[in-house]
Amino acid sequence: MKFVDEADIEVHAGNGGAGCVSFLREKYRPKGGPAGGNGGNGGSVIIRADPTLSTLQDFKFQPIQRATNGEPGRGKDQHGTYGEDRVIRVPVGTQISDRDTEEPLADLAEPGAEYVVARGGKGGLGNAMFKSSTNQTPKFAQPGIPGEERRIHLELRLMADVGLVGFPNAGKSTFISRISAARPRVADFPFTTLVPNLGVVRISDEESFVVADIPGLIEGAHEGQGLGDRFLRHVARTAILVHLLDAGGLSGRDPLEDYEIINHELASFDSEIADKHQIVVANKTDLVSDTDTLSTLEETFAKKGIQLYKMSGATGEGVNQVIATIATEIRQMKAKAIKEDQAATNRKPFE
> What's at 162, amino acid-wise?
V
φ/ψ of 171, rounded to 5, equals: 100, 20
Single out the residue of 211, 157, 168, 159 nearest to residue 193, CA to CA: 168
State residue 105's pLDDT score. Answer: 94
> Average pLDDT, stretch 330-337?
83
pLDDT digits 0-9 by tens, 221-243: 545 454 445 667 777 778 899 99
Q: Helical H runs in the chain?
A: 58-61, 172-179, 228-232, 255-269, 271-274, 291-303, 319-346
6-12 and 64-66 as β-strands: parallel, antiparallel, unpaired?
A: parallel
Q: pLDDT grade, residue 187 (50/70/90)? A: very low
11 Cβ partners below 8 Å, 6+ apart?
A: 45, 64, 65, 66, 86, 88, 117, 118, 149, 150, 152
Q: How many angstroms separate the CA atoms of 100 and 172, rounded?
A: 38
pTM of the model: 0.69
Radius of gyration of the chain (CA): 29
Q: How many angstroms separate the CA atoms of 268 and 261, rounded?
A: 11
Instruction: Please report the domains of the chain, with CATH numbers, ordered by start residue.
Output: 6-156 (2.70.210.12), 162-344 (3.40.50.300)
φ/ψ of 269, rounded to 5, equals: -80, -45
DSSP code per residue over 245-309:
EE-SSTT---HHHHHHHHHHHHHHH-HHHHTSEEEEEEE-GGG---HHHHHHHHHHHHHTT--EE
> What's at 46, amino acid-wise?
I
**Chain centroid, CA 206 distance in Å:** 25
pLDDT digits 0-9 by tens, 93-122: 899 999 999 999 999 988 899 999 999 999
State residue 225's pLDDT score. Answer: 54
**Chain centroid, CA 115 distance in Å:** 13
Q: pLDDT grade, residue 85 (50/70/90)? A: very high
φ/ψ of 197, rounded to 5, equals: -125, 145
Higher pLDDT, 39 or 246: 39
DSSP code per residue over 157-186:
----SEEEE-STTSSHHHHHHHHSS-----
